[in-house]
Amino acid sequence: MEDLVKFVQDEFVTKKEFPKFSAGDTITVYYEIREGEKTRTQFFRGVVIQLRGTGASQTFTIRKMSGDVGVERIFPINLPTLQKIEVNKKGSVRRKRIFYFRELTGKKAKIREKRK
């Protein structure tokens, strides 16, 4: 059964090329919004909290602060309305899923930039 699902995903799901990113990176996601017959491009800039899944079913979660309120959004990597992803900063974190980041505030919520 898994082979059949993988075959269908490989054959029929269109794949887009996006830059490599991981947890701790600050990225900007540009996606299309439809309001009635009009479409516009909106962006969401934040820190990647987690990458989950593989292949066509991969998703990533982004967290940003909007005033004093934390906002998280989950994007499937194969979302048809996803236009582009920009990596703004590479973060240096020790874990793949940084859920501890939700409780941090102020200076503690800074993620060190990865050294080159």
Q: Given this model, what pLDDT does residue 110 score?
A: 87
Confidence of residue 115 (pLDDT cuts 50, 70, 90): confident
- pTM attached to this predicted model: 0.82
Would you give the DSSP letter of residue 113?
B
Do the beta carbons of residue 17 and residue 85 sit within 8 Å? no
Q: Given this model, what pLDDT does residue 41 score?
A: 95
CATH code: domain of residue 37: 2.30.30.790
Rounded Cα distance, 20 and 94, in Å: 17
Q: Give the alpha-carbon dihedral of 89, 93, 99, 100, to 10 degrees.
A: -110
Model confidence over 79-97: pLDDT tens digits?
889 999 999 999 999 989 9
Query: Which residue range forms the structural domain that includes residue 41?
Result: 2-103
Q: How many domains does the chain have?
A: 1
